[in-house]
Amino acid sequence: RTETEWFRTAVFYEVLVRSFKDSNGDGIDDFKGLTEKLDYLQWLGVDCLWLPPFYDSPLHDGGYDIRDYRWIREELGTIEDFKVFLDAAHDRGLRVIIDFVMNHTSGSHPWFQSSRADPDDPYSNYYVWSDTDDAYSDARIIFCDTEDSNWSWDSERKQFYWHRFFHHQPDLNFEEPRVMEEMLGAVRFWMNLGIDGFRLDAVPYLIEAEGTNCENLPKTHQILKQLRAMVDEEYPGRILLCEANQWPDGVVEYFGDGDECQMAFHFPVMPRLYMGLRRGSRECISKILADTPQIPEGCQWATFLRNHDELALEMVFKEDRQYMWEGYAPEPRWRCNLGIRRRLSPLVDNDDAKARLLNAMLLSLPGSPVLYYGDEIGMGDDLWLSDRDGVRTPMQWDDSETAGFSTALPEDFHLPLIHTFGHDPEHVNVARQMDDPSSLLVWTRAMLGIRRRHPVFGTSEFIDLDGADTAVMSFLRHNEHETILCLANLSDTERTVVLHLPQFAGATGSSLIHGQDVQPVEADGTLIVPLWPYGYRW
Ligand code: TEU
Ligand code: CA
């Protein structure tokens, strides 16, 4: 493993900058607060933080609506505070990647304001303008709960502008070379401050072309290759993590021939982990992994259970979606042809056994796991907040009135604390779990420690053993140094797994890395392993 491939064995942690820790009592997190909590993150044992956008923004889309690519929202602190934070993270061996939104800006970005004011302005071509609203009609509408077209009328310029997301997020025009220059300049700005890489937001939509669905187009890949070439040349070892919510065949294209992004999220895995658990069957998980093409040497998937966009069912088939809602109240609030955002997470159910099983799978299946803040304590989702605010509530540090998030009163927090009984800070918090050796937090920390001691999880082959009992997922992670057998019982009944693996002949109980006790393996390599409901073993 070379140092430049650090991301292949890393565990990532998404910190929602607004909701982690407030240092100055205004009810909003800030970089000083984040810096105070670095000791905690180091103790937990994660390797790299991912910060969603903290740029100057009117915050109509959680900061994914950028008003200035080189400025931090004042509520979060100054560039100086950011530098202090970054150095403190690096001192603790933590790396930091930050979000970067190339597809669109906020409508209040000065570029857009200039562009709409004057068609002869130097910024006139920075966005995608048209006299009509009928171009690119094969492109789907992504935020179809709130938008009914990808074109919106601008009364000032008296033209339509193109937007793949909210109408207040006009798409940048990558046919205009100056736009790419601006992006490269902003990337250099943050790289020069010392960040370890970027999560690249919404990359499939950079380029539009008539007669296509305007996703994953060849020119979009050229743009990313150009960015990667610059990064390799000027900032070797820094990474690009691609966010393309696409099926595996489309998303693997973002690795290029190893000359595009080093990492990409594997979106379809996430809902299948939940679905497999609900069905008590590994089949959908095995299938998506089998259907995932090989990726170029040195690249890596990023996998996750939750993120700031909430558990979404975009990447499942219609029948599955139907199945996933059944029996769950309240009825889904967000419905469209593409996705239904639902809170089906067993983490929400406060079901400790299921939460551990899901995390054990996340930590042992292929890819680098990306935890979401609060996953380690089983912090749930607030079912009653609108849009995606339900997964963006303040971190629950302790059982005090303010949950240890801020010295402000909860009514002044930018979002309320979770108040659902059993999920509220009184029941679910860091302080309490730190003192309890049987807690999810202490367990998560132990699991991260194991993963760190066994880099095989990050870098090896994945061999699905496809056992006859579909309730149990059994697989090997294998390289020339080490072979780890992983078992996961997705069902609520006890199972006995029988496997024949000559390479383990004679292994004893001491070969167990984590999970329930094991019997010694018989001389011919036969393993007979009982698994509790939702039990797992490595
Ligand atoms: O999301 C981009 C995206 O492609 C969506 O499919 C997203 O994965 C989906 O909404 C999940 O439910 C990114 C950000 O993650 C999201 O927070 C922003 O709202 C969006 O870009 C627009 O900037
Ligand atoms: Ca675009």
From first to last of the 538 residues of the chain, give the pLDDT tens digit: 357 799 999 999 999 988 999 999 988 889 999 999 999 999 999 999 999 999 999 999 999 999 999 999 999 999 999 999 999 999 999 999 999 999 999 999 999 999 999 888 899 999 999 999 999 999 999 888 789 999 999 999 999 999 999 999 999 999 999 999 999 999 999 999 999 999 999 999 999 999 999 999 999 999 999 999 999 999 999 999 999 999 999 999 999 999 999 999 999 999 899 889 889 999 999 999 999 999 999 999 999 998 998 766 677 777 777 777 665 544 444 433 223 334 444 444 568 888 999 999 999 999 999 999 999 999 877 877 777 888 899 999 999 999 999 999 999 999 999 988 888 999 999 999 999 999 999 999 999 999 999 999 999 989 999 888 999 999 999 998 889 999 999 999 999 999 998 888 877 766 667 666 667 777 788 888 889 999 999 9
Ligand 1 centroid distance, CA of 148 (Å): 17
- Residue 514 CB neighbours (<10 A): 18
Ligand 2 centroid distance, CA of 55 (Å): 20
Confirm or reject: Cβ of 147 under 6 Å from ligand 1.
no
Confirm or reject: Cβ of 252 under 6 Å from ligand 1.
no
Ligand 1 centroid distance, CA of 198 (Å): 16
This complex has an ipTM of 0.95
Ligand 2 centroid distance, CA of 412 (Å): 37
Residue owning the nearest CA to atom 9 of ligand 1: 309
Helix (H) or strand (E) run with residue 355 in it: helix 352-364
- Residue 323: the pLDDT is 73
- The DSSP result for 103-117, as a single string, is SB--TTSHHHHHHHH
Quick one: tokens of 58? 């009117």
Quick one: tokens of 263? 């990492």
Residues forming the active site: 201, 243
- Residue 1: the pLDDT is 38
Confirm or reject: Cβ of 14 under 6 Å from ligand 1.
no
Ligand 2 centroid distance, CA of 104 (Å): 7
Quick one: tokens of 455? 């880099």
Residue among 459, 456, 446 nearest 45 (CA):
446
Residue owning the nearest CA to atom 5 of ligand 1: 245
- Residue 502: the pLDDT is 87
Atom of ligand 1 nearest to the CA of 143: 10
Ligand 2 centroid distance, CA of 190 (Å): 23
Round to whole Å and give the CA distance between 130 and 122. 17
Cβ(372)–Cβ(14) below 8 Å: yes
Q: Residue 108 burial by CB count (10 A; 0-12/13-18/19+): exposed, middle or buried?
A: middle
Round to whole Å and give the CA distance between 50 and 14. 5
Q: Which ligand is nearest to the CA of 170?
A: 2
Confirm or reject: Cβ of 99 under 6 Å from ligand 1.
no
The torsion defined by the Cα of 391, 397, 399 and 405, in degrees rounded to 10, comes to: -80
* Interstrand relation of 536-537 and 483-489 (parallel, antiparallel or unpaired): antiparallel
Under DSSP, is residue 19 helix (H, G, I), strand (E, B) or coil?
Answer: helix
* Interstrand relation of 263-265 and 300-304 (parallel, antiparallel or unpaired): parallel
Q: How far apart are the first and last CA of the chain?
A: 22
- The DSSP result for 161-174, as a single string, is EE-SS-TTSPBB-T
Q: Which ligand is nearest to the CA of 63?
A: 1
409: which residues sit within 8 A by CB, 6+ positions away?
A: 401, 402
Residue among 243, 244, 306, 310 nearest 98 (CA):
243
Q: Which ligand is nearest to the CA of 309?
A: 1
Name the β-bridge partners of 499.
Answer: 527
Residue owning the nearest CA to atom 23 of ligand 1: 64
Q: What is the pTM of this model?
A: 0.95
Confirm or reject: Cβ of 415 under 6 Å from ligand 1.
no
Quick one: tokens of 419? 């108040």
Ligand 2 centroid distance, CA of 141 (Å): 12
- Residue 408: the pLDDT is 93
Confirm or reject: Cβ of 397 under 6 Å from ligand 1.
no
Cβ(13)–Cβ(49) below 8 Å: yes
Confirm or reject: Cβ of 129 under 6 Å from ligand 1.
no
Confirm or reject: Cβ of 201 under 6 Å from ligand 1.
yes
Residue owning the nearest CA to atom 16 of ligand 1: 309
Residue owning the nearest CA to atom 8 of ligand 1: 245
Residue owning the nearest CA to atom 19 of ligand 1: 61
Quick one: tokens of 277? 């658990």
Residue among 307, 290, 325 nearest 475 (CA):
290
Q: How many CA atoms lie within 13 A of 387 on its CB side?
A: 12
Q: State how far the alpha carbon of 71 is from the alpha carbons of 22, 54, 186, 251, 308, in Å.
A: 20, 8, 10, 31, 22
Residue owning the nearest CA to atom 15 of ligand 1: 309
Helix (H) or strand (E) run with residue 442 in it: helix 440-453
Quick one: tokens of 235? 């900032």
- Residue 337: the pLDDT is 27
Atom of ligand 1 nearest to the CA of 64: 23
Confirm or reject: Cβ of 307 under 6 Å from ligand 1.
no
Ligand 1 centroid distance, CA of 145 (Å): 13
Quick one: tokens of 288? 């998506």
Confirm or reject: Cβ of 215 under 6 Å from ligand 1.
no
Atom of ligand 1 nearest to the CA of 244: 4
Residue owning the nearest CA to atom 11 of ligand 1: 309
Atom of ligand 1 nearest to the CA of 204: 4
